[in-house]
Amino acid sequence: MTELKDAASPDIQVDFDIHSPDAVEKVYDTYADLRSTCPVAHSTRYGGHFVATRYDDIHDIVRNPSVFSSSQINVPDSIGQDGEMIPIQIDPPDHTVYRRLITPLFSPKRMAALEPQIRDLVVRLLDDMAGRDRVDFIEAFARELPSQVFLALMGWDIADAPRLIEWVDTMVLGVPGASEEESLAAREAAGMEVYAYFAEMIDDREESPRSGEDEDEDITQILMDGTFDGRPLTQFEILNILLLMMIGGLHTVQGQLAHSVIYLAEHPEARQEILDDPDVIPSAVEEMLRYESAICPARKVTQDVVVGDVQLRQGDVILVPFGAANRDPEKFPEPDSVDLRRDPNPHLAFGAGNHRCVGSHLARLELRIAFEELHRRFPHYRLDPSDPPVRHLSQVKGVHRLPLILGESA
Amino acid sequence: MTTHAPAALRPEIDLDVCKGHGRCYMTAPDVFDCDDDGYPVVLGSATTSAAIREVERAAANCPEKAITLHPDVR
């Protein structure tokens, strides 16, 4: 029997910093190295935390909330929220009650009804790109679409998108390269502005409610009319539900759109497959979700437990990068290659277990429509070798800038 | 002795394990539907070879491993 390692074992110590601006370009190589040498590693960053990289370990962890609590999902602990983000930082049984209210808001049927509206937003953004031979795809499209969709779902003014984008950027990324203290201060300041903005939206709605008329009933109103075990939700709860919807919905879809377009710009044969057979798009969306899975949450250990050959103790924190799970060769043959028709593809881009991304049906819809309309309109595009994309890691991997040359192929 | 693929497959979903990802009704819409909250509903057994292939794919794509397939002998 092999002896168990623990947080102090010298041979599992790694210098892994999820927020390092230098880590992003080689992160999948890093995950592959860790997976083959040390699948449950320990980093001394941010007060010390573990990092899991095998699909099966990550899958087991996220599906076992009584041992792996979501009370801490970020490393370091705060992104500037006041209290817990609901329901992602809530464990069962309360989690179940919140999800019963929130899951139906993002159901496939409700989302399918939004398809014409989302397609309209997509087409308008693409219209604005027409006639230009180069664009920053982030600025022109990837950042705009999810924020406009979010604002439309909430029933708020689409013109507020730039403010939301800036706040989310700061809360997700902190100040890259700055000290932990400086990043936390910036995140908290952004958090305060977000709560003030949400509170203003709720106040406005109290003055002119939209209850009762199905057409007008948006998520703001449903939450304001919503209950937890029979009592109305408090304003504090509503704010922390809205915060999570915003954090979960904006940066994630932006990054997924951008990562997909980078891949398709660099692989004209894959783009051609989409042009030749648009029916491959739903499967292509799943494969791009697997290939570039943005989210890397943490869990907090509630009782001593062994993962692989490592002893974790109560209070320990472990990162579970879905991007590492989804490149595990034990689960996905040739994991670093894209196969737009990969099958089976049981990826964990949206997580698994109780905290499965509640917005997954919306994200899929946005991605599918964007893939369809983008390629209908701009079948040919390529990267600009003199102005390459700028990516970032953090716990939501993404893309800051994506200069694209339209009308040409690589 | 030769083995034959079953003539029909009856899917069973463990609804305690299912989290409503929706991969099954996206993959095999003839066998699974979704309810108003996004959880799957089994419409019946897969009886054609195309439906059998679909339901096997649905089970393999489930990120929660919530689907079990039973040979349906009638």
Let me know if residue A3 belongs to a domain.
no
For chain B, which residues make up each domain, given as ranges? Answer: 9-71
Over residues B29-39, the mean pLDDT reads 95
Would you tell me how many other CB atoms lie within 10 Å of the CB of residue A96? 12
Rounded Cα distance, A99 and A295, in Å? 20
Residues of A in contact with B21 (CB under 8 A): 350, 352, 356, 360
Please tell me the least confidently modeled range out of A1-5, A94-98, A226-230. A1-5
Contacts of A181 (CB under 8 A, 6+ apart): none
Q: How many independent structural domains does chain A possess? A: 1
Rounded Cα distance, A407 and A382, in Å? 8
pLDDT for A213:
61
- Residue A151 in this model has a pLDDT that exceeds 50: yes
Over residues B22-41, the mean pLDDT reads 96
Please check whether residue A63 touches B, CB under 8 A: yes
CATH 1.10.8.60 fits B9-71, yes or no: no
Q: What percent of chain A has pLDDT over 90?
A: 92
Over residues A364-374, the mean pLDDT reads 98
Question: Is the whole-model pTM more than 0.90?
Answer: yes
pLDDT for A125:
98
Over residues A312-321, the mean pLDDT reads 98
Rounded Cα distance, A38 and A52, in Å? 9
Structure confidence at residue A2 as a pLDDT band (50, 70, 90):
confident
**Total length of chain A:** 410
Over residues A369-394, the mean pLDDT reads 97
CA distance B42 to chain A (A): 16
What tokens does A188 get? 């908290």
Interface of B with A (CB under 8 A): 19-23, 25-26, 34, 36-38, 57, 60-65
- B37 and A343 within 8 Å at the Cβ level: the answer is no
Q: Please report the ipTM that was assigned to this predicted complex.
A: 0.93
Residues of A in contact with B61 (CB under 8 A): 343-346
Return the HEC string of A170-224: HHHHCCCCCCHHHHHHHHHHHHHHHHHHHHHHHHHHHHCCCCCCHHHCCHHHHHH
User: Which amino acid appears at position A79 of this protein?
Assistant: I
What CATH number did the domain enclosing A163 receive? 1.10.630.10
pLDDT for B5:
64
Over residues A46-54, the mean pLDDT reads 97
Please tell me the least confidently modeled range out of A15-19, A173-177, A329-333. A173-177
pLDDT for A209:
83
pLDDT for B1:
47
Residues of A in contact with B22 (CB under 8 A): 108, 360-361
Residues of B in contact with A103 (CB under 8 A): 20, 37-38
Over residues A80-107, the mean pLDDT reads 94
Which residue among B23, B37, B62 places its CB closest to the CB of A107?
B37
Q: What is the mean pLDDT of chain A?
A: 95
pLDDT for B61:
98
Would you tell me how many other CB atoms lie within 10 Å of the CB of residue B38? 22
Let me know if residue A192 belongs to a domain.
yes
Over residues A32-60, the mean pLDDT reads 97
Ramachandran angles phi, psi of A47, nearest 5°: 80, 5
Would you tell me how many other CB atoms lie within 10 Å of the CB of residue A153? 22
User: Which amino acid appears at position A50 of this protein?
Assistant: F
- B64 and A360 within 8 Å at the Cβ level: the answer is no
ω before A76 within 30° of 0 (cis)? yes
Over residues A34-63, the mean pLDDT reads 97
Residues of A in contact with B37 (CB under 8 A): 103-104, 107
Over residues B42-48, the mean pLDDT reads 95
- A343 and B60 within 8 Å at the Cβ level: the answer is yes
CA distance B72 to chain A (A): 23
Let me know if residue A360 belongs to a domain.
yes
Rounded Cα distance, A67 and A89, in Å? 14
Segment holding A409, helix H or strand E = none
Nearest partner of B61 among B23, B34, B25, judged by Cα: B23
DSSP class per residue in chain B: ------S-EEEEE-TTT-----HHHHH-TTTEEE-TTS-EEE---B-SHHHHHHHHHHHHH-TT--EEEEE---
**A193: domain range?**
10-406
Let me know if residue A1 belongs to a domain.
no
